[in-house]
Chain A
């Protein structure tokens, strides 16, 4: 079976799940579909409300934010916290955004975060894929034992290894640099290795066999045959790693000592300590912090869901 067949079969299965072009899922009528969607949208509302509150507050003036409290204090009826009236900023104060962005060196933090995200994503995807391929497709003595050893490291809490790892990085002279945050990514991550191993095991062995018959070596099989088929799984790993690095607060806290190297998650925490009372600016910073992740999910959701489904994570 060629890779086109594999992808084609998956696409056909996906199309089948979606009910085909022009049809409705599960043989429902249009009215039933509308009803189901309406219910689903309603169920989404509670989950979306905090997000709506965040965006709405980020556009409000301080007077409006504190109005409900002051009204309550005066015994007057205050608008409910999530009512439509309270969610609409009056007036809309766009200035909160530039104010939040200039209060902390946002661009510097963004640059540092992107550098770290890029390097760790590359590192984790490359190293985890190589290791996972070995576990999934190569036969060597003690493979299963090493696999279980690797899996068992996931059960080890970070606090246990924190001090020796810190001492090691310090001895290497990496303390205060990006290296402790980047280099470990190039040595594979157990969870991603496990995920990719499971995925590689699902690929038909005939693909590699055919390539071998044609004279391909293992590295060629891995890079030319397996990796192209593993795009959804690799995208999932990349996305998880990106989000992990994007949100990482403790790594930069422990290893960085230079404000010029701080990241967004660290900067947001600093912003929170500094301007906890300035809700509008705080929410503006939080919105900007959250936005790239939402956009990433928005644009990569199909690949991501496909990856999660094919790796058995769903």
Chain B
């Protein structure tokens, strides 16, 4: 009898819970707010506070005219490519999408994207050519056609802690040459009683702070823009890799691995090891300025470009990437989509778009945006951001080579760099292996009928 009562009570409770659950209000659907207007569907990968920024920009656009309505949809970064490709092949892609730059060569090669220069007036084309930073054009163009325009660029510079410098009896400044920075790093590093690293002074990081990202300061790089070919075993690249190997060797490869494995592996936001003082100087992107402002507002830090080596060095050099707006070839409304692209990026009115760049803490498309009063005000409030604005204007920034096998190439660069710094291969062998792997991949692609 008691068991039956319990069962009844459980059933009633479950029913109440289900009713309450189903009565819960749904999240706001992506229904048009202006049903008479032409819808422009935007897919992007921003979430949380960034998604709010995107929604504000869309709202501004919708209020600025009465022909189109941009309807944003946040798509998780994991799987966004699959969703887009399926929708594009199925004939129902978004009208405009915000994507990382690496998709541009591959998707353009596969004829999935609309050339934006087709949608531009001659005046707009001329203005874009004249005003956009060189690196924005390097990333947006593929085989002479413009396929993407940036909503925010990324640049990488040194973040350093002046307090560590002072404690070591040093001037809290980044020295003018890479060799001097390395010497300073030696004085800043700390070891514990057991002889293990407890703080790293300066050590080049992986990825865009590694071989690909640092080679430009040595005058190297992996793409010759004049000939349109990938470059691998140049003397400059070899010098870069030797430098990276030497830095790891000095600290001890195992010792560095041991040190880094004790740090937060997910270095998002407040968990960035630099904030905790694990590094005295390290290279990272401009978004850390905003994160430090939010999560460690009392942190005393500075930023500076990576200094070039004494011989053959190139100042204000490094790597860059960014977020780009692209318009799928199967877009139902490319004209409306392009109006929105111009609105957000500042191709239409840079002084108006400057505000959007400050909302997201993004590096802009052109000096016309930087010179807008609102952006200057932003720089006054965030002085460490200026380093990145100076960098993004530099003609010495390198980007992922605009080849359709870009993903393969970048993966191989990271792989051989890893083998070299571990001591498995010499720098010469590593670059040779990279060259061979690339030739094999290109041959394989030719066999499959791809044209370079």
Contacts and interface: CB of A to CB of B under 8 A. Distances in A.
Contacts of A175: 90, 92
Contacts of A6: none
A277 B269 contact: yes
A266 B271 CA distance: 25
Contact of B264 (A69, A163, A270): A69
A266 B27 CA distance: 14
Interface stretch (A27-35, A90-98, A224-232, A253-261): A253-261
A52 interface: no
A66 B277 contact: no
Interface stretch (A10-18, A104-112, A131-139): A104-112
A107 B21 contact: yes
Q: Is the interface of B mostly helix, strand, loop or mixed?
A: loop
A147 interface: no
Interface stretch (A70-78, A182-190, A196-204): A70-78
Contacts of A259: 27-30, 73-74
A264 to B, nearest CB: 12
Given A108-B25, A167-B90, A262-B27, A273 B278 contact: no
B89 A250 contact: no
A134 B276 CA distance: 65
A275 to B, nearest CB: 6
Contacts of A72: 198, 262-263, 276, 278
Contact of A69 (B28, B51, B87, B273): B273
A110 B17 CA distance: 12
A73 B21 CA distance: 46
A215 B198 CA distance: 84
B74 A257 contact: no
A74 B164 CA distance: 12
B288 interface: no
B26 A108 contact: yes
Nearest to B77: A273
B90 A111 contact: no
A34 B91 CA distance: 64
A114 B17 CA distance: 12
Nearest to A253: B79
A310 to B, nearest CB: 26
A123 to B, nearest CB: 20
A266 B76 contact: yes
Nearest to B91: A170
Contact of B22 (A73, A78, A111, A274): A111
A292 to B, nearest CB: 12
B110 interface: no
Given A69-B273, A259-B28, A254 B83 contact: yes
A123 B83 CA distance: 26
Contacts of A62: 270
A260 B277 contact: no
B46 to A, nearest CB: 9
Given A72-B278, A270-B74, A105 B89 contact: no
Nearest to A81: B262
A178 interface: no
B162 to A, nearest CB: 17
Interface of B: 21-22, 24-30, 45, 47-48, 51, 73-79, 82-83, 86-87, 89-92, 190, 192, 198-199, 262-264, 266, 268-271, 273, 276-278, 295
9 contacts: A69-B262, A75-B199, A108-B25, A163-B86, A166-B87, A170-B92, A258-B29, A266-B76, A269-B76
Given A276-B269, A277-B270, 8 more contacts: A72-B198, A72-B263, A103-B48, A107-B21, A269-B76, A273-B77, A275-B48, A277-B271
Would you list the 3 A-B pairs with minimal beta carbon distance, nearest first? A277-B269, A277-B268, A274-B48
